[in-house]
Amino acid sequence: MKILILGIDGYLGWPLALKMGSKGHEVIGIDNLSTRKFSEEVGSDSAFPLPSPSDRVKEAKKILGINIDFYVKDANDMEFLKETIRKHKPDVIVHFAEQRSAPYSMKDYNHAQYTLDNNLGTTLKLIYAVNEIDPSIHILKMGTMGEYGTPSLDIPESPFVEANINNKKDKIIFPRWGGSIYHWSKIFDTDLLLYFNQIFGLTVTDIMQGPVYGTRTTEITEEGLRTRFDFDETWGTVVNRFCVEAVLGLPLTPYGKGGQTRGFISLEDSMEALRTLIENPPKTGEYRLVHQFAEIYSVNKIAEVVKNAAESLGMSTEIKHVDNPRIEAEEHYYNPEIKILPSLGFKPKKNLKDEVKIILEDLIPYKSRLERYKDSIMPKTKWKK
Ligand code: USQ
């Protein structure tokens, strides 16, 4: 298959390029390198130094023998996007080219506005470009489990539910309630995809994924192939952040009560799930919503797992609850359905406990590099000023 990845330079984009290339698929990618720039903006950097795009491509060729076409361009540039689709004629376009941080989107008006402009702008351009050039191209879009918020209802793996209001029945969209402007941008993306699936008959997989953790995939076998790894308060996600806190001897920081519960997935399992969805597309003209996570944990449980793993490696670690900078439920019901990936034969192979140990071992040699960015770790971005 020919796969075009929008956002190929990111935490998920790069390992997906390596995975799909290693499986014999043709990989083309676009990235404007914005996450590199934004991480610098908040005084941080990837835990592992990142090669330049051209060096990444060379390493992939040298170590894995794969060819990747990497364009340092903006997927939010309609003319370039159309030119690339026309030139390469992909079977599937993976859309990761979005600002993916909740705290970044909540810093101030400018960051909120950028998040909405960039994320919705790119999705809308992709929809119109695909419709104009070849509406049968499969759009595989990264959404988030955070589109639902934390309702006191089971979360069905389907965009629609049957509602009964005043004895009248109709199909309605299952309620969503984002926990940040970033999460709202993904809700609006879903609305656009649902609408244009009905109008243009586009073929769409809309993935609701939980937070991803980890440093490794089957293909990341050498330093030159590593993907970025963020840990600062803006770009780092909870498991990866706790691992860096442990390595630096800082307390682990559950926000508030720490009962916030999410569906987590390792980097390797996320890549395998994506491969499964790419290789098993929906029927032409179908909109398919997929839940993508492996294990459900609370933030408190994650802190405990990281503490135990760090102690088994000889580090002394404490857990210190800090004031929650976000506005979110700190204790809640959480029961999302998951049936589509298992029905396609996908089974997660990794678990949090084992992976956390590997993350810690991978980070230890970079301790002095991490020290340089220590000031970016404690939460500063408050939802309500
Ligand atoms: N949290 C802590 N302590 C920390 C960091 C986070 O308690 O030091 C808590 C947060 O308050 C939140 C939970 O951990 O309740 C998850 O936060 P996170 O920063 O790991 O993840 P989030 O901001 O929700 O966003 C991340 C990715 C995003 C993806 C989302 C999936 O950045 O791109 O869409 O995970 S989900 O969480 O299911 O919406």
Calculate what percentage of the chain has a pLDDT beyond 90.
Answer: 100
Does residue 250 contact residue 237 with C-beta atoms inside 8 Å?
no
Average pLDDT over residues 53-78: 98
| Closest alpha carbon to 67 in 115, 31, 18 | 18
Give the Å distance between the CA of 347 and the centre of ligand 1: 23
Q: State the Cα–Cα distance between residues 373 and 342, nearest whole angstrom.
A: 40
Catalytic residue numbers, as ranges: 144, 182, 186
> Residue 161 has what pLDDT?
97
- Which residue carries 């408050």 as its tokens? 382
Give the Å distance between the CA of 211 and the centre of ligand 1: 6
pLDDT in tens, 205-243: 999 999 999 999 999 999 999 999 999 999 999 999 999
Domain locations in the chain as residue ranges: 2-376
Pocket test for ligand 1, best of 183, 299, 327, 380 (most atoms within 8 A of CB): 299
pLDDT in tens, 297-319: 999 999 999 999 999 999 999 99
Q: State the Cα–Cα distance between residues 228 and 13, nearest whole angstrom.
A: 10
Length of the chain: 385
Pocket test for ligand 1, best of 186, 238, 242 (most atoms within 8 A of CB): 238
| Closest alpha carbon to 178 in 7, 383, 338 | 383
Interhelix angle 299-312/352-363, rounded to 10 degrees, is 60
Single-letter residue type at 219: E
Pocket of ligand 1 from Cβ distances under 6 Å: 100-102, 144-146, 210-211, 237-238, 241, 253-255, 258, 260, 262, 299, 326, 328
> Residue 132 has what pLDDT?
98
Q: What is the DSSP letter of 249?
A: T
- Under the banding of pLDDT at 50, 70 and 90, the label for residue 349 is very high
Give the Å distance between the CA of 265 and the centre of ligand 1: 13
Q: Which atom of ligand 1 is nearest to the CA of 144?
A: 34
- Under the banding of pLDDT at 50, 70 and 90, the label for residue 57 is very high
172 SS3 class:
strand
| CATH code linked to domain 2-376 | 3.40.50.720
Q: State the Cα–Cα distance between residues 257 and 234, nearest whole angstrom.
A: 20
Q: State the Cα–Cα distance between residues 10 and 46, nearest whole angstrom.
A: 11
Average pLDDT over residues 359-383: 98
Pocket test for ligand 1, best of 232, 240, 262 (most atoms within 8 A of CB): 262
- Under the banding of pLDDT at 50, 70 and 90, the label for residue 379 is very high
Backbone angles phi, psi at 155, to 5 degrees: -100, 110
DSSP secondary structure letters along 113-159: HHHHHHHHHHHHHHHHHHHHH-TTSEEEEEEEGGGS---SS-B-SSS
pLDDT in tens, 91-143: 999 999 999 999 999 999 999 999 999 999 999 999 999 999 999 999 999 99
- Under the banding of pLDDT at 50, 70 and 90, the label for residue 339 is very high
> Residue 185 has what pLDDT?
98
pLDDT in tens, 78-99: 999 999 999 999 999 999 999 9
> Residue 27 has what pLDDT?
98
Give the Å distance between the CA of 146 and the centre of ligand 1: 9
H or E element in which residue 311 lies: helix 299-312
Average pLDDT over residues 2-30: 98
